[in-house]
Copies of this chain bind each other. A is one copy, B any other.
Amino acid sequence: MSNNKIALAIHGGAGTILRSLMTPELEREYRGGLEAALQLGWDILENGGSALDCVEQTVCSLEDFPLFNAGRGSVFTHKGKNEMDASIMDGKLLRAGSIAFVKNVKNPIKLARLVMERTPHVFLAAAGADEFAREMSVEMAEDDYFYTEHRYQQLLRAREEGVVQLDHDGLALATHNKPIGTVGAVACDINGNVAAATSTGGMTNKKFGRVGDTPLIGAGTYADNGTCAVSCTGHGEFFILGVTAYDVAARMKYKGQSIVDSARETIDELGRIGGDGGLIAVDAMGTVTLPFNSEGMYRGYITEASDINIATYGTESPV
């Protein structure tokens, strides 16, 4: 037996999640999606699987769940297309893979891992990434797989109103400018290796090929056994400017702080520069932390010391 403890944390987006607009049924659905992903990832860790396999599979599960803005549940761009971004980083070997603007790839996170393992590159985007997907024979899905009625209604509303929606839910017009659509996972395995993975369907009605923080190593995703693994969610532009994922690791390395203090300070700094959102992080001892400064963040974690914990609003989580 190793001394470190296995641990897994996930998120399904952060932002304005209004309790008043949430029905008990919908809440059960969301919780179900988070719980299934956590259970799947935890089984991998408990069976001695790697943190890398764990975060990839866990994010696949979140991508397959239609209510989160990633994979199957991705929002529509202005032109009525689904364009997806994802990134993964292996804290053991300090290597990473990212893709942006891929279309019809069933699980973008798998393609990100292939970039990491099968190319000398870190980041492939747009038509070139689609070409790489075909060359790798990853599983593709037809447009109607990604067609979810609430996403399409969301696009029609956004087009009508001329707004760009970054959020991932179809709950309320009140959430228009609250960018909350991403999923992510971080894990520490039995060998003390950490990994992080993040995936998103982008912004409803987006134009001009906007790239958010999700595919950017250092901004939306980062992992290094020496410090921690981080996956972010929120208003992407501020996570890019704050270099948020790496900032947690930098505070640990250079200030000698704990992961909990570092992550908290990073989110405080994010707020100072005007950003909304949160992150999940785990270190190589299995300590998890899930700070955020938005009204809510779909999130959950399991550690050896705790059962499955799932929460949505700000007051529910002890971490």
- Among the 9-residue stretches A24-32, A128-136, A280-288, A299-307, the one with 4 or more Cβ atoms under 8 Å from chain B is A128-136
Chain A at the B interface: SS class: mixed
**In this assembly, does A64 line the interface, its C-beta being within 8 Å of a C-beta of chain B?**
no
Tell me how many residues of A have a C-beta within 8 Å of chain B: 43
On whether the beta carbons of B241 and A211 are closer than 8 Å, the reply is no
- Cβ contact of A94, chosen from B127, B241, B246, cutoff 8 A: B241
A127 to B251, CA, bound (A): 37
Known interface pairs A94-B241, A219-B218, A240-B218. Does A123 touch B208 (Cβ–Cβ under 8 Å)?
no
Interface segment, one of A10-18, A34-42, A95-103, A308-316: A95-103
Number of copies: 2
B243 touches A208 (CB 8 A): no
A190 interface contact, C-beta 8 A: no
- 20 extra interface residue pairs, beta carbon distance < 8 Å, beyond A122-B241, A127-B209, A128-B208: A98-B211, A100-B125, A119-B208, A121-B210, A122-B236, A122-B237, A125-B126, A125-B209, A128-B207, A129-B209, A131-B208, A131-B209, A132-B208, A217-B240, A218-B219, A218-B240, A243-B243, A246-B247, A253-B254, A254-B255
